[in-house]
Structures are given as structure tokens and as C-alpha cells.
């Protein structure tokens, strides 16, 4: 059986844990292109996260101290054609987003995670649509004032813009693969979580266009990669906002979880919407989107 290490990368509250929980639910239901023929040994972590979704809540922010074995999902999956030769062992550890932010801001990353990036079979980078934690690029007025202040003047004390953090995460990924001397082609999925928050026009334009418009530095960077294949997905794990949308929250239990949520992606030049939450991982492990 082939082992596939998948790494989830993203800052705090970008949706990694909720997606992992929803992925687990989708694999278990067996409705998607990827399915799990048997239940894995240790499902404590994903079950705890899934409990929240089943109860009509998003899983809370991942524990700061989380970086222990067992935090994540290890599961055998296969494609729905049932061919044994397509069974892969997925290992998807979860980690607090602060770790990735620390990697960018302080260049601190444990050898465990550097090795994980270097040997990864696939990577998912998470960005959250319209997150209050997203930091915009500097605007012209503020930049001009800062320059005019000159030496001794105050500097702007805000975090790095989200697109700069994302570019740096890509740089760290490339560094890890060079260190590991890993020349195998890598599939990198860009997941835009909370896709349901977008207006119709933005949603219809698709996730790649969303990145082009909202994160132009990252968009340019992703077009310049060598040895890395990129695909874009818009993801809504439950199809609505369980925090801010009270009506949606009240009606949530009218449908089972496996009828909730969707993935937006581009195939054959069109933006498609699929209820199959396993799609991003399926693509990352080698399934073509045209097979979805």
C-alpha cells in the first residue's frame, strides 16, 4: 500500500481542523471519490472535532500546545472504483496555525515538521475568505506617512499581510523539499475556506480568481513555481456560517451532515460545485478533477 503524507498549512482559524473533521465524515460515509474501506484505529482527535460539527458548531481554535502524535487523521482510502491498487494510506496531522505563523515570523520550525514538508506527497494551504484575521497590504496613505516620519519615526505595528505570510509559507515548503532533496512533483491545493461567505459574483468567478483579486502577490508566486502543480478549491464544510447566521444555525439539523457542505473548483473551463468534500485531498493524492 502506498503511503501518502499530506500536510495542512495555514495560519490560525483558517479552517484546517474543521475541514479535517468534515473530511473524516465524508470518507466514512463513502459518498465521495475517496472512501475509507475500514475505520482506522485511532479516531479520537477527528471524532472530537466532528462532534462540534454534528452539534451545529464549528470546532474551536486548535490548542496552542497541540503537536502530539495522534492529532490528525491516519486512514486508508481508495477511490470509488474499489480497485485495491489505488488504496493509499493517508497521514494528515493537524497542528495549531500559530506554528506556521511562527515559522514565517521567526523562522522557527521543528525538524519534525520540516521533514514532514520535505517528504510530503501533497500539501493543502488554507486561506479563509473574509476572515477578520486577514491582514491587508499596506495602503498608500499610511505608507507615505511612515516614510515621511523618517528615521526615529514610528513603524506600523501590525502583522504581516496574509498574502506575504502565504508566500513565505510557499518559500519554506520549497526550502524543505530542497533540504530533503525531494525532486518528486508535488501537488499543492489552495483551499479557500468559508466559501459560503462570498457574494454570487465572487463565487461564480471561482477560487483562483479569488486568490488573484485578494492575494495578488500569492497568485503571482503560485504561477512561478517549478516542480509544484497547483489547484484551487473553495470549500464550505457545512454550507453556511454556524457562527453568524442564526437562521442557518437553526435549520442546520434539518439535514444530516453528509448533505451539507460543498467544494467549488474549476474543471474544463467552468466553475463546478460538488458536495464531495474529499475532492481536494483526492486531487492532491493523484485523482484528476475530470474524474470527479
Partner 1 sequence: MTGMKCASPECTVEQTGVCLLGNPAGQCQNLVEQEVLRSPLSVGAPVLPAPQAHSGIPPSLALGSTEASELMAARYCRVIGVIGVPNSGKTAALVSLYLKLSNDQLEDYSFADSRSLIAFEEISRGARRWTGNLPEQLTQHTKLAEERTAGFLHLRLRDGYDGQAFDFLMPDLPGEWTNSLIDENRTDRLGFLRSADAICLVIDGRQLLEFESRNRAMHRGKLLIRRVSDFLGKDKVPLFLVITRRDIGIPDAEIISGLSAEAAAKGFEVSVVHLASFSDSDVVTPGEGICDLIRGLRTSPAVTEAAYWPDSPRRSQDRSFFNYRNRG
Binding residues (CB under 8 A) for partner 1: these are: 103, 107-111, 114, 137-138, 140, 143-144, 146-147, 149-156, 158, 160-161, 163-164, 167-168, 171-172, 175, 179, 212-213, 216-217, 219-221, 223-224
Give strand pairing partners of 262: 236
CB of 107 to partner 1, least distance (A): 4
What backbone phi and psi angles, to 5 degrees, belong to 39?
-75, 130
Q: Which residue, 90 or 169, has its beta carbon nearer to partner 1?
A: 169
CB of 95 to partner 1, least distance (A): 15
CB of 81 to partner 1, least distance (A): 38
Collapsing DSSP to helix, strand or coil, 79 comes out as: strand
Q: Which residue, 30 or 220, has its beta carbon nearer to partner 1?
A: 220
| Short-list 65, 76, 16, CA closest to 42 | 76
Q: Which residue has the cell 500569492?
A: 218
Q: How many CA atoms lie within 13 A of 57 on its CB side?
A: 8
Q: Which residue has the cell 470546532?
A: 59
Q: Which residue, 54 or 160, has its beta carbon nearer to partner 1?
A: 160
CB of 171 to partner 1, least distance (A): 7
Q: Cβ(195)–Cβ(203) under 8 Å?
A: yes
Q: Which residue, 29 or 174, has its beta carbon nearer to partner 1?
A: 174
CB of 113 to partner 1, least distance (A): 9
Q: Which residue, 167 or 235, has its beta carbon nearer to partner 1?
A: 167
CB of 54 to partner 1, least distance (A): 37
Collapsing DSSP to helix, strand or coil, 152 comes out as: coil
Q: How far apart are CA 162 and CA 130, in angstroms?
A: 11
The three state secondary structure string of 217-249 is: HHHHHHCCCCCEEEEEEEEECCCCCCCCCHHHH
What residues have CB less than 8 Å from 241, skipping those under 6 apart?
Answer: 194, 196, 197, 248
Q: How far apart are CA 36 and CA 27, in angstroms?
A: 5
| Residue 168 grid coordinates | 513565505
Q: Cβ(65)–Cβ(115) under 8 Å?
A: no
Q: Which residue, 143 or 184, has its beta carbon nearer to partner 1?
A: 143
| Residue 245 grid coordinates | 447566521
CB of 85 to partner 1, least distance (A): 37
| Residue 63 grid coordinates | 490548542
Q: Which residue, 27 or 186, has its beta carbon nearer to partner 1?
A: 186
CB of 67 to partner 1, least distance (A): 12
Q: Which residue, 55 or 220, has its beta carbon nearer to partner 1?
A: 220
Amino acid at each position: 500500500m502506498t503511503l501518502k503524507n499530506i500536510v495542512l498549512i495555514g495560519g490560525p482559524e483558517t479552517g484546517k481542523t474543521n475541514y479535517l473533521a468534515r473530511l473524516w465524515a465524508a470518507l466514512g460515509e463513502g459518498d465521495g471519490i475517496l472512501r475509507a474501506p475500514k475505520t482506522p484505529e485511532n479516531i479520537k482527535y477527528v471524532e472530537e472535532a466532528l462532534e462540534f460539527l454534528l452539534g451545529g458548531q464549528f470546532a474551536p481554535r486548535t490548542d496552542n500546545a497541540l503537536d502530539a502524535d495522534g492529532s490528525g487523521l491516519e486512514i486508508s482510502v481508495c477511490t470509488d472504483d474499489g480497485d485495491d491498487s489505488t488504496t493509499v494510506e493517508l497521514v494528515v496531522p493537524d497542528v495549531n496555525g500559530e506554528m506556521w505563523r511562527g515559522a514565517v515570523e521567526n523562522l522557527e520550525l521543528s525538524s519534525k515538521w520540516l521533514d514532514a514538508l520535505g517528504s510530503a506527497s501533497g500539501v493543502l494551504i488554507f486561506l479563509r475568505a473574509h476572515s477578520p484575521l486577514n491582514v491587508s497590504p499596506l495602503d498608500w496613505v499610511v505608507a507615505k506617512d511612515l516614510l515621511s516620519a523618517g528615521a526615529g519615526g514610528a513603524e506600523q505595528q501590525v502583522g504581516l499581510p496574509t498574502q506575504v505570510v502565504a508566500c513565505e509559507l510557499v518559500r519554506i515548503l520549497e526550502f524543505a523539499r530542497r533540504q530533503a532533496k525531494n525532486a518528486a512533483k508535488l501537488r499543492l491545493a489552495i483551499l479557500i475556506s468559508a466559501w459560503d461567505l462570498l457574494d454570487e459574483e465572487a463565487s461564480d468567478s471561482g477560487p483562483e480568481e479569488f486568490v488573484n483579486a485578494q492575494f495578488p502577490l500569492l497568485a503571482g508566486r503560485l504561477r512561478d513555481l517549478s516542480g509544484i502543480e497547483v489547484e484551487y478549491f473553495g470549500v464550505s464544510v457545512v454550507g453556511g456560517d454556524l457562527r453568524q447566521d442564526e437562521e442557518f444555525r437553526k435549520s442546520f439539523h434539518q439535514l444530516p451532515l453528509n448533505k451539507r457542505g460543498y467544494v467549488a473548483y474549476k474543471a474544463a473551463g467552468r466553475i463546478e460545485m460538488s458536495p464531495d468534500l474529499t475532492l481536494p485531498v483526492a486531487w492532491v493524492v493523484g485523482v484528476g478533477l475530470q474524474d470527479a
